[in-house]
Amino acid sequence: MARNRVAEFHNNKYLVSIINNGVESCGGRFFQFNGIDRTGNPKGYIFAYDKETGKILRVNADNVEDRQIFGNKENSTDARGYLCVEMCVPYVQGVYPASSFYYDNNGEVVAVQYTCYIQRIVAAIKCKLEGKTLVDLGEANHMTGNKMDNRYFNIEDGTQRDNSIHGAVFNSLLKHQRYFEGLFTTSSNKTRSFTHLVDNRYISSSWIKEYMMSNKQFADAVDDCRKDMRSKAVAPRYISVYKLETFIDWLYSKGYWTK
């Protein structure tokens, strides 16, 4: 099915708006914000994000018994591992399919169903709490490479280029994982298992870009990988074990990783 990019634009714009309207810290572990519900109430849903589990609790503001937790990887069948939360967005004429409409008792459309990736919510919350200007949503990145893990430490906001840079390094480490003992582990959803970095060995795309500026050979190798990823090359290139080892040594020297 073709992507509805106009709908994506309005969805992202709305998510930015509700995060900008306020994220309340609850005990330092939970972050709460409000959103429109299926009746059209602009603050009808309360969302509480748990930074330690990466899950989101959705509660009806008028009926606390109407609650649901999103982000349980055990229930997911997504082939890529992504986890979502069911939200609503305001109705915009001519943008959304009628199958996603919610109506009032008079038959008027009052809200639209919106399935949102949890990592995008976390990236937006993180930008807001870190005092960054939140105008538009970038590309949320999972720094361990585990797309089922939406804990606060594992998510970073960035660009499509940042994601591809991270992907080049992660895929190369994964390709050569037999040389990097203790760096990887596995997690599973309902149908698949995924190999990813262990928690204390996550890699930020900003660290990779920093190292690329000081090491042209490594930067060239990253760019070669990115080109092959974009073109879906039959025999893609990977960063060599030696270059990856020097990058890891640099991570230790900078204090990004500790022994």
Q: Is residue 88 part of a domain?
A: yes
Residues 36 and 84 in one domain: yes
Q: Is residue 192 part of a domain?
A: yes
Domain that holds residue 201: 159-254
Write down the pLDDT at residue 132. 80
Look up residue 26 and give its two tokens. 């609850």
> Which pTM was predicted?
0.93
Residue 127 has pLDDT above 70, yes or no: yes
C-alpha to C-alpha distances, 101 to 81, 88, 96, 111, 113, nearest whole angstrom: 27, 9, 8, 6, 6
Write down the pLDDT at residue 133. 73
Look up residue 133 and give its two tokens. 């200007």
Band (55; pLDDT cuts 50, 70, 90): very high
Band (2; pLDDT cuts 50, 70, 90): low
φ, ψ (nearest 5 deg) of residue 41: -65, 120
Residues 109 and 201 in one domain: no
Neighbours of 57 (CB within 10 A): 17
Q: Is residue 234 part of a domain?
A: yes
Average pLDDT over residues 43-65: 96
Q: Which residues contact 242 (CB under 8 A, 6 or more apart)?
A: none
Average pLDDT over residues 33-50: 96
Q: Is residue 139 part of a domain?
A: no
Q: Is residue 154 part of a domain?
A: no
- Within 94-215, where are the H helices? 118-129, 160-175, 205-214
Average pLDDT over residues 109-115: 96
Residue 189 has pLDDT above 80, yes or no: yes
Among the residue ranges 127-141, 145-159, 172-186, the one predicted with the least confidence is 127-141
Q: What is the pLDDT of residues 226-259, one digit of tens each?
A: 999 999 999 999 999 999 999 999 999 999 999 8
> Are 164 and 226 spatial neighbours (Cβ–Cβ below 8 Å)?
yes
Q: What is the pLDDT of residues 76-110, one digit of tens each?
A: 999 999 999 999 999 999 999 999 999 999 999 99
Residues 182 and 104 in one domain: no
Write down the pLDDT at residue 26. 87
For the chain, give the percent of residues with pLDDT over 70: 98
Residues 178 and 91 in one domain: no
Burial label for 255, CB within 10 Å (0-12, 13-18, 19+), is: exposed
Q: Return d(Cα 46, Cα 24) in angstroms, integer.
A: 11
Band (139; pLDDT cuts 50, 70, 90): confident
Q: Is residue 116 part of a domain?
A: yes
C-alpha dihedral, 102 to 107 to 108 to 112, nearest 10°:
10
How many domains would you assign to the chain?
2
Residues 119 and 183 in one domain: no
Residues 81 and 186 in one domain: no
Residues 104 and 10 in one domain: yes
Residues 247 and 174 in one domain: yes
Residues 106 and 201 in one domain: no
Residues 68 and 112 in one domain: yes
The bridge status of strand 24-26 relative to strand 84-89 is unpaired
C-alpha dihedral, 33 to 35 to 37 to 39, nearest 10°:
120
